A = this chain, B = another copy of it.
Amino acid sequence: MARPGFDLSVYLVTDPLLNGGRPVEDVVDQAVRGGVTMVQLRDPHSPTRELVAIARRLVAALRPHAIPFIVNDRIDVAMICGADGVHIGQNDMDARDARAMMGEDCIIGLSVANEAELKASRDALGAVDYLGVGPVYSTSTKADAGGAIGLEGIAWMRAATDMPLVAIGGIDAARTGDIVRAGAAGVAVVTAIMNAAEPKDAAAEIARAVEAAKQE
């Protein structure tokens, strides 16, 4: 397997509505310069043609930085733009089907909120590289997210599986330390970076918080 290494520390999830009118690839480029280690395109509403166009712009923006680029749900978009992987939710394609399509060289993440979802995903976990766990806190950026699982939810998942965990949901720099101490390898953030006046500074602050917590 030649699956690329990846670092979940500061995982930026894009949102087309939260970049303050700035081109999403510009915000992402700034954020990467601040310390973002991984980027996911999540945009469940745009037409496919627009998704492909955005994905290609993000691939071009991220290639110089060698930062993994992940597409949410849409394996067709991921494949045609040359993404490094896909992130799938419980209502998206089965991770084994995603692996069959994308091949062994890609990164596959799966959202798992709780014990019930972890059980339901058991047979698919062999096809998965990391778990997205949340929402840790309640969030306005994902209408179909379930109830907040809190730090206890992260700690439970840390005990229940050996897989790398990235936490998501209402996370900002101030909350990052506790989340990493609870067992997450990193934090996935949307608003705290996409909507920041200075995405680079926002990313750097979160990166410092992750690093500090890991060194404790």
Interface residues of A (CB under 8 A from B): 47-50, 52, 73-77, 79-80, 88, 90-94, 97, 100-101
A80 touches B93 (CB 8 A): yes
B101 touches A49 (CB 8 A): no
A47 touches B97 (CB 8 A): no
* Complex CA–CA separation, A47 to B101 (angstroms): 18
B94 touches A49 (CB 8 A): yes
* Complex CA–CA separation, A151 to B50 (angstroms): 31
Query: Separation in Å of the A99 CB from the closest CB of chain B?
Result: 11
B93 touches A48 (CB 8 A): yes
Query: Separation in Å of the A7 CB from the closest CB of chain B?
Result: 27
Query: Separation in Å of the A98 CB from the closest CB of chain B?
Result: 8
- Give the oligomeric copy count: 2
Query: Separation in Å of the A216 CB from the closest CB of chain B?
Result: 39
Q: Which residues of chain B have C-beta atoms less than 8 A from A97's C-beta?
A: 52, 80
B52 touches A91 (CB 8 A): no
Q: Is the interface of A mostly helix, strand, loop or mixed?
A: helix
A48 touches B76 (CB 8 A): no
Q: List 11 A-B contacts (CB under 8 A).
A: A47-B91, A48-B73, A48-B91, A49-B90, A49-B93, A50-B91, A52-B93, A52-B94, A76-B93, A79-B101, A80-B93
Given A47-B92, A92-B47; A80-B52 close (CB under 8 Å) = no
Q: Which residues of chain B have C-beta atoms less than 8 A from A47's C-beta?
A: 91-92
Q: Which residues of chain B have C-beta atoms less than 8 A from A100's C-beta?
A: 80
| Max count, chain B CB within 10 A of own CB: residue among A75, A90, A100, A101 | A75
Query: Separation in Å of the A117 CB from the closest CB of chain B?
Result: 13
Query: Separation in Å of the A76 CB from the closest CB of chain B?
Result: 4
Chain B: CB-nearest residue to A47: B91
Q: Which residues of chain B have C-beta atoms less than 8 A from A101's C-beta?
A: 76, 79-80
